[in-house]
Amino acid sequence: MFKDLDPLLHSQLRLAIMSLLISVEEADFVFLKEKTGATSGNLSVSIEKLSESGYIKVRKFIDGKRPKTVCKVTKKGITAFEEYVKALEDYIKKSGIAK
C-alpha cells in the first residue's frame, strides 16, 4: 500500500523552500526568492502556509530602514520532510525502478 504524500510538501515551491531551509540554519526572503525563482507573491503565500502548519518559524523585523523576513525550519518541519522523502522512496522501491 502506498503512503499518502503530505499535500503541503507536495507543492514544488514549498518542497523547494523546505529543502533549502533544511540545508541552512535560517534564510531570508531574498535568498529564498533567488534560489527558488519564485515571485514574491507566490513565495509569501508558500511561506505563510508552511508557517501556519508549524513546519517553519518566521521572524519579521526592520533591518535599518528595510523590512526583513527570516525563515527557519522547525523540528516538526524536519520530521514532516523526512517522512515525505521516505514515502517517495517507498514509491520508487515499489515501482521496481530502484534496485
CATH level 2 (architecture), domain 12-94: Orthogonal Bundle (1.10)
pLDDT of res. 98: 55
pLDDT of res. 83: 96
Give the model confidence (pLDDT) of 15-65 as tens digits: 999 999 999 999 999 999 999 999 999 999 999 999 999 999 999 999 999
pTM exceeding 0.85: yes
Give the residue from 99, 27, 34 showing the smallest Cα distance to 69: 27
The structural domains of the chain, with segments of one domain joined by +, span: 12-94
Residue 66 host element (H or E): strand 66-73
Contacts of residue 17, defined as CB under 8 A and 6 or more positions apart, other chains included, come to: 32, 36, 43, 46, 47, 50, 56, 71
Q: Strands 56-63 and 27-28: what pairing?
A: unpaired
Q: What is the CA radius of gyration of the chain?
A: 15
